[in-house]
Amino acid sequence: MSRPRAVDLRAARRVLQYLRGTEQLGLLFKYAEDAECTTLRAFADADWANDPVQRKSTTGYIVFFNEAVGVCAQAAS
């Protein structure tokens, strides 16, 4: 964004406040020498107001931890 508006700066500040307030949260993955290679992959996507009838946005993500999968998809209400 080359010319952020006041609303954009407020949104960015909220994100930074959230990150500052949650920095103690996290996931701990302990290393085990006998374990095979551990992989963590995540993908996210957003489709802004692509529905031609309702003009709603859709967001989603998928996370792979080794073979386990976590998925979330949500349409705006």
pLDDT score of 14: 92
Could you give the residue ranges of the DSSP H alpha helices within 1-49? 6-21
Paired tokens of 74: 């949500």
The per-residue pLDDT for range 13-64, each reduced to its tens digit, is 999 999 899 988 887 777 767 666 777 889 999 887 777 787 788 888 998 8
Q: Which amino acid is at 18?
A: Y
pLDDT score of 17: 93
pLDDT score of 47: 84
Confidence of residue 70 (pLDDT cuts 50, 70, 90): confident
User: What CA–CA distance (Å, rounded) separates 41 from 43?
Assistant: 7
Length in residues, the chain: 77
Nearest to 48 by CA among 75, 14, 73, 71: 75
Paired tokens of 25: 């949260």
